[in-house]
Amino acid sequence: MSEDSRRALISAGRRVVFTGLIILGAWVLLVGLRGAAVATTAESMAEEAGVSQEAMTELLKEGDWSRSWWTDKSVAEEVGLRLGITLQLVVLGGVMALVVAAVLLFLGVLISLVTDRPPWLAKIRQVMRMVLVSSGVAYPVFFGTQLLMVYGAIWWEWSPPVGQGITWWPVFFVSMPITWLLVQSGHGVLADRPGGTASSYRLLAQDIAVKLVTTLLKLVGALFVVAMLMEQMFALPGLWRLFLSSIFTRDYPVVFGAAWTFVIIVVLVKLAADLIEIAYNHFGGRAVTAEPAEEQPPLRRSIPRAWLIVSLVLVLASVVVAVVVPALAPYDYNEIHIADRLAPPGADYRLGTDSLGRDLFSRLLYGIRVDIQAAGMMVGMLVIVAAGFGIAGAALRRMDNWLGDTLEDLVMLPRDILCAFPWLMLLILLMSVVGVGLVQVAMMAGLVVLLPRAVGMMREAYSSPPDGRGWLYSVLWSIPVMMMLAMAGGILYTSTISFLGLGIPPPQPELGGMLSAEGRRYMLQAPWMARWPGIPLVLLILVWVMAGDALLERLGFRSKAVWAKVVE
């Protein structure tokens, strides 16, 4: 057996062993969260029952955790009845994303064949690709579906089917963000190995197909997150809807049963992706992450420098706006004018008022400030820790043998355990235990949810270093890229959890929270309440993603899956 084959077998065996360790670590984490949840629940239930908190805590601990607290059905029965709908939504959405991504990449290859010359046209094509792909990532699913439903109800009197099972609308919305992530990942393969002859195009198509399938499997957690939002929007009786309703009713046996089900599925699907990738890399005669056969122009020349400068200026502008909000806002965010409640946009109120007569324009400005502040706190807390993990992992990878690979996986084990949980599920669990608020969101989302994904971004970066650069260059220069994309992720996390009512509480304005609750309640009577908050939210995420993507390419990193880790 050759050295490469032996190393591949060791790698496959290691992934199986580490999968067991990840499952064990996830179980320990769930047990710890269960204890914290019991303490929190006992405090509130003890007041209602008129008993001591200690007595209620013991009662909950000794209770039957295999059955629901409220329906007395077994947890297995509750979960089993709902799991099929969620899996159907995830599988159909994933297949649709895979097909659409393959078609878009094929069209991209055809377009690139006729636009490589002159150079200015090729640069325009590259910039347009960045705008479109970044827009796909910056397009939070809850925003898209929210606005479509608002406009549909107002203009076309269209409403989504409620409780009628799976239709193509929720499947389509599930596939949208995954499609763009797959396109970006496939573009990395195209950038590394451009075709030329019939045989090279055949190998290129083979590489892209394997890359898309493995990337889709690794994004199973993101698929579950999007499916959760779709189940909420379309009132589908799936497992995510059961999980969220159980969170609000504090039916923790069902909560942890559903969470454990998701963990098992995510871990096993990611294991399958790793094994497929290992087998293809070492036994397929062609490596997914192989270097190009002939020297290619550095990727840092693929986009104009002016585009990077414009992106960074927009990032700086968003920060400046957040800082000077008190000078820009005509009113305080909680200043009530009850006589002008639900006033339409006009001279006194540029974007109208809400149900309490508060100026919507002022609240939007303060909402931008809150989102940037929350994301900035997250990035500030995680950057040093993420850099430490990145340096340790890259240094071990330099050994270039099975021992170095094993030690790197061991260093990354805490990250893999946390990534076994779909990020929104874990964030909801944490917020249900620690309570709502800006500091709580920043700490939980930053250190527990965003940190492992930031480490994953750095790992992708040093795994595909720029030509002629060493591992230390890759780690250090991936830090500003990680910070840019982590800011976008922080804004997305803050908005999503607030949209679900577990993030930053009113009256403090937050863009995701403004889309929910009153935004939906008054969408027919005052459509501007649901229309405006989503626009600055998408622009914020778009600006930070484009800046991170532009910096990524100008620095010469080949991997196009770096920022996909933020929604893994």
- Assign residue 547 the CATH number of its domain: 1.10.3720.10
What range defines the domain where residue 27 resides?
1-63
Residue 331 forms part of a structural domain:
no
Per-residue pLDDT of the chain (568 residues; tens, 9 = 90+): 566 677 788 888 889 999 999 999 999 998 888 877 777 776 666 666 666 667 666 666 666 678 887 787 888 988 988 898 899 999 999 999 999 888 888 876 776 666 555 555 556 656 666 665 555 555 544 445 444 444 444 444 434 443 445 677 788 878 887 887 787 777 767 766 555 555 577 777 888 888 889 989 999 998 998 888 788 777 788 898 889 888 888 888 889 999 999 999 999 999 999 999 888 887 765 544 433 333 444 444 466 788 889 889 999 999 999 999 999 999 999 988 888 888 888 888 888 888 888 999 999 999 999 999 999 999 998 898 999 998 998 888 888 788 888 888 899 999 999 999 998 889 998 888 888 889 999 999 998 999 999 998 888 888 877 777 777 888 888 899 889 989 988 998 898 888 888 888 888 898 888 877 666 677 777 777 877 888 888 888 888 988 888 888 788 776 666 766 767 7
- 3-state SS class at 288: coil
Number of neighbours of residue 56 by Cβ within 10 angstroms: 21
Burial class (CB in 10 A: 0-12, 13-18, 19+), 309: exposed
Same domain? 282 vs 315: no
Residue 80 forms part of a structural domain:
yes
Q: What is the distance, to the nearest Å, from the Cα of residue 378 to the centroid of all Cα atoms in its chain?
A: 15
Cα–Cα nearest to 406, from 6, 17, 79, 140: 17
Same domain? 202 vs 271: yes
**How many folded domains does the chain comprise?**
3
Exposed e or buried b for every residue in 450-483, given b needs 16+ CB within 10 A? bbbbbbbbbbbbbbbbbeeeebebbbebbbebbb
Residue found under tokens 């196009």 = 560
- Return d(Cα 367, Cα 330) in angstroms, integer: 14
Could you give phi then psi for residue 67, rounded to 5 degrees? -130, 150
Residue 547 forms part of a structural domain:
yes
Q: What is the distance, to the nearest Å, from the Cα of residue 323 to the centroid of all Cα atoms in its chain?
A: 26
Residue 279 forms part of a structural domain:
yes
Same domain? 432 vs 568: yes
Q: How far is CA 134 from CA 174, 200, 230, 540, in A?
A: 17, 29, 22, 11
Same domain? 160 vs 208: yes
- Return d(Cα 135, Cα 542) in angstroms, integer: 6
DSSP-derived secondary structure letter, 445: I
Q: What is the distance, to the nearest Å, from the Cα of residue 336 to the centroid of all Cα atoms in its chain?
A: 36
Same domain? 207 vs 119: yes
Cα–Cα nearest to 413, from 434, 396, 438, 436: 396
- Return d(Cα 334, Cα 485) in angstroms, integer: 31
Same domain? 256 vs 108: yes
Query: 368-417 pLDDT, tens per residue?
Result: 999 999 999 999 988 989 999 989 988 888 887 888 888 888 999 999 99
